[in-house]
Amino acid sequence: MPYPTLTLLISCPDRQGIVAALSQFVLEAGGNIVRSDQHTTDPMGGGFFMRLEFLYPDGGPDDEHFKERFGAVAERFAMDWRLVRSTAPKRMALFVSRIDHCFIDLLWRWRAGELAVKIPLVVSNHPDLEPIAVQYGLPFHFFPIARENQAEQEARMLESLEGQVDFIVLARYMRILGRDFIERYPGRIINIHHSFLPAFVGASPYKRAYERGVKVIGATAHYVTAELDEGPIIEQDVIRVNHRDGANDLRLKGRDIERGVLARAVKWHIEDRVLVYGNRTVVFN
């Protein structure tokens, strides 16, 4: 059986000696570095980002002892950091509406072992996809939402999520979440938008892309913020189209792109490969 690993995610101002200090820390604690990825926005005073994966053959310190020992290094370099253990899989809630292709694709990948995550529940504003959730043995929570009851229903949704999930995936959940809801899960709600953002923000992007006569359509997975479709982008992809393609052809072609883009974004989030800075991301893949 392979050793469990720890992943240290770091962001700080760039300066000399960061990598050396981190390597020395792991060495002195009896650890072994498995993988190291880093990025600097500007070698002369920019931001520094790092994903350091390592292990302790003897088990190593618990989180509190690690924090105590690492505190001096973090303070020295003004680091924002977090530690993740491979022995603690994330818990993912899936939000869906009526469109099923992204939902089914994620469930298939989860069952096939591609996504090392737990799925405590599925949340929806429509009952249509409950049979699929039941087929996969997942609890299905139905919250019908209209304009006049959205705040009340989202409060109920938050209650159902409390203590059960670490992040949320909007697998074509066709409802704009309220600000209060989003602020409870900052940087932990992933959405798939069926457009190559920043083009065609909001509703009906395939229809608007057809009317505009574009030659390329795409999909974008991003973290949700209070500004519609403006959150940090995790992954994007495109496919070429031509004058023979109608709006429905674009929609059908786009579904393949949506599935792949969302799956990659979710996988990278699960594996702690994404660091957010400002409204951008560093993705260590």
Q: Name 64's Cβ contacts closer than 8 Å, sequence gap at least 6.
A: none
**Separation of alpha carbons 123 and 222, rounded Å:** 19
Q: Which amino acid is at 85?
A: R
**Separation of alpha carbons 99 and 103, rounded Å:** 8
Nearest to 159 by CA among 206, 189, 131, 121: 121
What's the Cα-to-Cα distance from 238 to each of 63, 218, 256, 258, rounded to whole Å?
42, 4, 10, 9
Is 229 marked active-site? yes
Could you say which of 229, 237, 245, 256 is catalytic?
A: 229
Strand pairing partners for 280?
277
H or E stretch at 156: helix 150-161
**Separation of alpha carbons 185 and 205, rounded Å:** 26
Question: Which residues are known catalytic residues?
Answer: 229
